[in-house]
Amino acid sequence: MLARVRDAVGTVVPGVGGGLLRPTWRVLIAFVLTFAGIGGLLVAVTLLVDLGSLERTIVTHVGALVVAGVVFRFVAASVDRREVRNYGYRISTEWWLDFAGGAVLGLLVVAGVFAVGSALGWVEVVDLAPLESTSFLLWLSAFVLAWACVAVWEETLFRGVVLTNAAEGLYARRVSTIKAVLGAWLMSSLVFGLTHLFVVTVLANDPLAPIETIDAAPSIPTDTPSLPSLPEDLPSVPDELPEAPDVSEGIPLAVFSAIPEGGTLLGLVLAWTALGSLLGIAFVLTGELAFPIGIHFAFNLAVTNVFFGSPTPYGDGEIPSVLVVDVTATGLAHPFAGAPVLAAALLGHVGVIFWALYTAD
């Protein structure tokens, strides 16, 4: 294992200098270009393209990956001055085995949360998906593709770009290699959690308030003065008004994160940060993005489409899930937005270390 860790650390901190921008600027450029590009895509798809929910899910997520891929290639060539493969894409048989191992670990983390929640009475299965339904399988396939896209571009950004450049920046300040990597691991975990928090800050001001109770419409005072009556000879309103763009489904924020009802922002931040830590240590100990991509992909898929489905409308259909459940726990006890998933993610670190030992040369 030690040999593999040394090689991985050498990958994360290959060296600095050569007239490069400071690592902080490199990260900021990658962040701004990535989120500006994806945000523009989402707005354009929502306002300008008439798509059904299934098509919109595929177009937005695949489009987000394409946009992010263009940004990463530009950043790699012109800002970071490294090959894209050096972000963690040295594809080989071992790379794909790491991806598969990560997917199994991500699935086990969520399965553990589901098992504990069920045992404690916090989660109750209320329905089973019609697995023989072609429509269900088509929708599920769309989400498999969507979560794969999310895992690839988010891991490239948060681990490939952020963690690598943070480590290089710390190393340039005469911090030892090991301390630089550890510091970058912690930084990338916080950035991952806080970035997801930024996406949902419009939904809450109180970090301990349940999400579904936040931002209730203010009451309208009843003692407002009466308005003067209007003249009776006003021009008539035409029978048919031009239709406004249909934005009732909103911008598909699922590209960035899933927001469970009953969770709190504090619980979500802790869960996201712990997951970021898990993904970070997976990158550090393997030196490749395959393992964290596998974890990230399977975690999102298992939470949304396997264990914790709910009959939440999604456009002209529903979010497909093998199990439909009723989650009764709220606040920090929420299964995947509080202490349970936090504990499971921390235990997942042990799984990452075991995998690194198991696959060591």
Top pLDDT among 72 and 257 is at 72
CB 67 within 8 A of CB 258: no
Residue 288 — very low, low, confident or very high, per pLDDT cuts 50/70/90?
Answer: very high
Top pLDDT among 269 and 229 is at 269
Residue-by-residue DSSP string for 128-182: E--TT-HHHHHHHHHHHHHHHHHHHHHHIIIIIIIIHHHHHHHHHTT--HHHHHH
Angstrom CA distances, 20 to 2, 9, 27, 68, stand at 31, 20, 12, 22
Residue 169 — very low, low, confident or very high, per pLDDT cuts 50/70/90?
Answer: very high
Among the ranges given (221-225, 252-256, 303-307), the one the predictor scored with the smallest mean pLDDT: 252-256
Angstrom CA distances, 50 to 27, 249, 300, stand at 35, 12, 27
Could you read off the pLDDT of 133-161 as tens digits, one per residue? 888 888 899 999 999 999 999 999 999 99
Three-state DSSP class for 65?
A: helix
Q: What does the angle CA 49 – CA 54 – CA 154 come to, to the nearest 5 degrees? A: 85
Pairing mode of beta strands 317-318, 123-128: unpaired
Which H helix or E strand runs over 25?
helix 23-48
Q: What is the pTM of this model?
A: 0.80
| pLDDT value, residue 311 | 58
Nearest Cα neighbor of 256 from 342, 149, 334 is: 149
CB atoms within 10 A of CB 131: 9
| pLDDT value, residue 7 | 53
**Average pLDDT value for the chain:** 81
Average pLDDT of 277-287? 96
Nearest Cα neighbor of 44 from 56, 32, 29 is: 56
pLDDT at 301 over 50: yes
Domain boundaries, the chain: 2-13+90-212+259-358
Could you read off the pLDDT of 225-252 as tens digits, one per residue? 555 555 565 555 555 544 444 433 433 4
